[in-house]
Chains A and B, each alone.
Chain A
Amino acid sequence: MGLKSRVRWRQVKEKCIAQFFQWNGILAIVVLFGIFSLLLLEGIPAVKALGLKEFLFSDHWDPTSPERESYGILALLVSTFMVSFGALVITIPIGIATAAYLAEVAPPRIRELVKPMIEILAGIPSVVVGFLGILVVGPVITRLFHVSHGLTALNGAVLLAVMALPTIISISEDAIVSVPHEFKQASLALGATRWQTLTQVTLPAAASGIFASVMLGMGRAIGETMTVLMACGNAPSMPRGYLDSIQTMTATIAIELGETVQGDIHYRSLFVIGFLLFVMTFVVNLISDLVLEKYRRMWQR
């Protein structure tokens, strides 16, 4: 082989290798689009057969009723939002306070100790959290509120708060750390205490990043399956309060897909629920993504 053809061969080889890596990169887009379209394709016949109105605005979910099957997902939707909202109410103050502590107050040694602990917490399997929800949180709720059993929306909210905590802490901490030092120094130089600087300068400056972390935490809460499946009692009717048993969208899929016949309305309606979950988490993630992007650019100037 002459030198020229060897060089040529090398160029072709390099090109192929680069192409190969690019295909792997593009795969992420393919998978995301694949999930979207498959859920849509499997779900559309159900929506066509039942009508979107019945689906979204009827609160009666009883696909296996012997008289008349009904497929209203409103109660499931409300349940999902209820536990997620409850989880956020619990987790936001704790999460932001922890993030503020780690970013601004903690000595390096404590930070290096606590941050891995938060990562470990993020890695605890949801089924273990659900298990403790049944055995620990449930009985506590029964005793505190004098209800017949603890498998309620409140239980789910507490567990989801734990599950969302690591996300909110780590993203908020990033946001707080990236607030420019000049801001804090200016505030301290004007005679503000460290507390005043934190609450009136640093946290407001990091607000959009913290907001993004809350959105991400909400996305996690909406999509969590095993904890709410185990700890919320699975009663697919409209919840009246946090001490009611509820059944979320995720739990409905988990419970019912195994009982359906492939291709029938019930089967397809579960794919519609999956599609809605996909869209909801997609929107939540997209918002937090855009906000974070803007936030990063804000301090780059």
Chain B
Amino acid sequence: MTRARRKVQEWIGFASLYFAVLIVVSILGFILYDIIARGYKVISWEFLTQAPRRGMTEGGIWPAIVGTFWVSVVTVFFSVPIGMFSAIYLVEYAEQGRLVRFIRLAIRNLSGVPSIVYGLFGFALFTLTLNLGLSVLSSGLTLALLTLPCTITASEEALKTVPMSYREGALALGATKWQAIRTNVLPYALPGMLTGTILSLARAAGETAPLLFTGVAFFLPSIPKFPHLLFEQYMALPYHLFIMSTQHHEIVKVRPLAYGTAFVLILLVVLMNGTAIWIRYRFRRKYKRG
């Protein structure tokens, strides 16, 4: 091949790579643009703070916001401590061996289990066997299992960024292993672990399939008081969007409301993910320097 032809070939090759990146970026751009441009018009104080009215053709999405909030809280309440504890085991205590290999294998495979399968499992275990019924609690627990691999991985990464010398310093002064972890590792890993919390919150807020059989409801305008609502059915943002875009009898009429719901959902999820990414970025840089 002559030099000129090789140059042309290289140029075309790299141009096609740019093109691929352009496609990926514009997919994201299009999704965000379409939802935001059509959704923001619907957003009003009334839309955010009132229950749906007239067969969900008017009114707002307040019960769905509350439902999603509580499901996410339950999810994080269970998923984050367990995820943190397993990460502490894997990073601080475990010695390389068969058990750790199996645990890691299990974690990676759990993250690949389809969300609908988690839904089946949660339905059979929490709703039926443990008799939690169709409730915020059943859904939250199901989502806690679903987000567990994500919180473990994020916490592990946070623990690994704390330099070895921090632990060694404490141990050299006569601290026990747990004392060293508690005083010299966890405080520094905590901001990184926060990313795991936010990521699993975002996951919990956006997942739909695991909610289908564990307690989400079509239309429930009144919201029970705090401890009771955990044991009751609820409305959720992603499910509300699903209903408004596929199941509603006046599908065209409610389209703006569906866009409004999608807007709120996207805003929540993107803000949370963005914050997590930002915290992790800052956290990594801090330890790279020091």
Contact = CB atoms under 8 A, between A and B. Distances in A.
Interface string B230-273: 00000000110110011000000001001000100110011001
Contacts of A32: 106, 109-110, 113
Nearest to B12: A195
A97 B277 contact: no
B106 A132 contact: no
Contacts, number: 256
Nearest to B94: A25
Interface residues of B, number: 86
A230 B245 contact: yes
B208 A127 contact: yes
A253 B34 contact: no
6 contacts: A117-B25, A124-B266, A125-B206, A128-B238, A128-B241, A289-B109
Interface in A147-189: 162, 165, 169
Given A223-B114, A223-B115, A270-B120, A257 B212 contact: yes
Interface stretch (B16-24, B57-65, B164-172, B184-192): B16-24
Contact of B107 (A28, A162, A169, A274): A28
Do most interface residues of chain B lie in helix, strand or loop, or is the interface mixed? helix
Interface in A250-288: 250, 253-254, 257-258, 262, 270-271, 274, 277-278, 281-282, 284-286
A257 B178 contact: no
A93 B20 contact: yes
B218 to A, nearest CB: 11
A34 B89 contact: no
Given A134-B245, A165-B27, A277 B116 contact: yes
Nearest to B25: A117
A286 B108 CA distance: 9
A105 interface: yes
B163 interface: no
A126 to B, nearest CB: 7
